[in-house]
Structures are given as structure tokens and as C-alpha cells.
């Protein structure tokens, strides 16, 4: 696999969320992807239900001139129920794709208007998505169970057990993590997030330009998990070992397809990667 010259930098502290930037020396900004947020704002991209609605599939119509990268865990709200995207995908310009999704709102199946883009799922939910690629689990049950756990531990109320409402209710606290934050260094392409004595997860992108399109959205999602660990302490995990294992896993994979979705799995982590022309565009990994 090409272009895996990533390296880990020293920590940056956002309250109790510790972010270890991932950087690259060699950067090519030749893959000009856009995001579901950007293209939706331009009215050139739209999510909608299938003709016969399906809990686990929705359609994305990309009417724009650039391919759209959507990452695992991104939330789509409205329509019959809120969903989250199950795996990172690329939708080429002027094309439609069926997108695999999972429900993030257990107690609603009622039309309330068209889809809108929402938050990105916090790492604990995304780790369930990654695990489901490698193990036979009842993913829907596990996601609902995790949302109920988060509602309880954060003392948040939601009539429909909605992940979106957790974010809405904790928005002020999440935003405090980003007070004074502008952006990570210009050659940053991702980060490993840590809180308390736990690695929350890791996101890596093809280029700094693409990373910065997702930076704030991802940091907010990691902050939502970090809230749980404000009173917890202990020995910091060895982040470099976790990062090195990810890169080693990627180097051991080979694909000859122009684009491919890959599953990453080792004893201590699970993740996924989306490739384009044999180059990784987005990688996400979470501890097992």
C-alpha cells in the first residue's frame, strides 16, 4: 500500500482530552474530496429513503463535481429516524449510492421531514461499528445499548433514545473543550485521542486539507467521550505502541483495486480504511 509515511507528534491538551497529532512529511493534495456537510450546504448532495424504506439503507445522490468522502459514524438526522453511517465510503461525482446505516434513535419510525447532516458518533459507538466488521454481533442492539448507557451516565433525557439529543444537551460542555482552539499544525493528517487512562481511538486522512474538513467534527465527538473520564486518572497508555501497530497492520495489507474498503483487526484493536487508487483516504481504529 502506498504513502504510509505517517509519524506521531507530542501531545496537545484540550482539558482532559489529550490529542496526539499524526503528521506526514510527503503530502499530495491531488484527491479533492468534499464532505457531506459541505455538499449539503451547496444543495448539490442529498440523502433520502429508499422507495421501500429500509432501516439499514439510505440513498445519497451526489450532484456535485467532486467525490464525497463520508466517514464511519457520521450522523444523518430527520426523515423516518436518525441514522449513522456504518462504514467510510466514497461517492463519486454525479452518482448515487446506497449507504449502509444503523439506527441511532430507537423509539421513532415517523416522518419528520427530509434528512440533514448531524454530528459524528463518539468513539465508543464507532468502535462497535468497527467490531461488527470482524465479529458476528447484533450491531443494532449494541448501538442502542451504548446510547442508553450514555444517556444514563450523562444524565441526559431523550424520549426517542436519540444520540443526537445527547450532543444537544451537552453542547456547552463539549464546546468548552475547543475554547481557544484554532487548528492543529498545517501538516497534521489525523490524531490519536486519549482521556484518563484510555485510548479513545484514532483517525487518519490522506492529506492535511482533507483532515481539516473533519477536524472540529471529530474533536467534538472525542470530547463527548472524554467527559466521562474527567474524574479518572492513572497511567497514560502507550500511544506510540497503538499507533505503530496500526501502521504495521496497514503495511501488511495489499489491494489491487482502484478503490477498496478494508477491515483492520488485531488482538487489541479493530478498524477500517477506505482506499482510492491504492492510497488510504481515511483510516479509523479503536481499541478492542
Q: What is the pLDDT of residues 137-157, one digit of tens each?
A: 999 999 999 999 999 999 999
pLDDT of residue 254: 67
Backbone angles phi, psi at 166, to 5 degrees: -65, -50
pLDDT of residue 138: 95
Please report where in the chains the cell 416522518 appears, as a residue: 111
Answer whether residue 233 is part of any domain.
yes
Answer whether residue 198 is part of any domain.
yes
* Domains of the chain: total: 1
Answer whether residue 1 is part of any domain.
no
259 or 102: which carries more pLDDT confidence?
102
Range of the domain at 63: 6-287
Return the exposure string of 149-178: e unless at least 16 CB atoms fall within 10 Å of the residue's CB, then b: ebbeeeebebeebbbbbbbebbeeebeebb
Answer whether residue 242 is part of any domain.
yes
Residue 259: is its pLDDT beyond 70?
A: no
Q: DSSP assignment of 218-253, as one string?
A: HHHHHHHHHGGGTT---PPP-HHHHHHHHHHHHHT-
Give counts: helices (H), strands (E), the chain.
Answer: 7, 16
Answer whether residue 101 is part of any domain.
yes
Distance CA 19, CA 197 (A): 13
Amino acid at each position: 500500500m502506498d504513502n504510509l509515511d505517517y509519524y506521531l507528534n507530542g501531545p496537545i491538551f484540550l482539558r482532559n482530552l489529550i490529542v496526539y497529532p499524526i503528521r506526514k512529511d510527503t503530502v499530495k493534495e491531488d484527491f479533492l474530496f468534499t464532505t457531506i456537510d459541505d455538499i449539503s450546504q451547496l444543495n448539490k448532495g442529498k440523502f433520502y429513503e429508499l422507495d421501500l424504506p429500509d432501516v439499514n439503507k439510505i440513498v445519497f445522490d451526489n450532484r456535485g463535481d467532486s467525490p464525497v468522502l463520508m466517514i464511519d459514524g457520521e450522523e444523518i438526522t430527520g426523515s423516518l429516524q436518525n441514522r449513522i453511517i456504518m462504514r467510510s465510503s466514497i461517492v463519486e461525482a454525479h452518482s448515487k449510492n446506497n449507504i449502509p446505516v444503523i439506527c441511532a434513535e430507537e423509539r421513532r419510525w415517523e416522518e419528520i421531514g427530509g434528512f440533514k447532516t448531524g454530528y459524528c458518533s463518539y468513539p465508543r459507538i464507532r468502535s462497535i461499528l468497527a467490531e461488527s466488521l470482524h465479529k458476528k454481533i447484533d450491531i443494532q442492539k449494541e448501538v442502542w445499548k451504548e446510547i442508553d448507557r450514555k444517556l444514563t451516565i450523562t444524565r441526559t433525557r431523550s424520549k426517542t433514545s436519540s444520540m443526537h439529543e445527547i450532543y444537544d444537551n451537552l453542547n456547552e460542555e463539549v464546546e468548552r473543550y475547543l475554547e481557544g482552539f484554532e487548528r492543529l499544525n498545517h501538516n497534521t493528517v489525523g490524531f490519536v485521542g486519549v482521556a484518563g487512562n484510555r485510548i479513545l481511538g484514532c483517525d487518519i486522512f490522506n492529506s492535511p486539507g482533507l483532515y481539516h474538513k473533519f477536524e472540529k467534527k471529530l474533536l467534538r465527538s472525542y470530547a463527548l467521550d472524554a467527559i466521562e473520564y474527567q474524574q479518572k486518572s492513572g497511567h497514560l497508555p502507550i500511544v506510540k505502541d497503538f499507533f505503530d501497530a496500526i501502521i504495521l497492520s496497514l503495511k501488511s495489507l495489499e489491494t489491487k483495486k482502484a478503490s477498496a474498503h478494508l477491515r483492520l483487526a488485531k488482538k487489541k484493536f479493530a478498524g477500517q480504511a477506505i482506499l482510492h487508487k491504492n492510497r488510504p483516504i481515511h483510516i479509523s481504529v479503536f481499541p478492542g
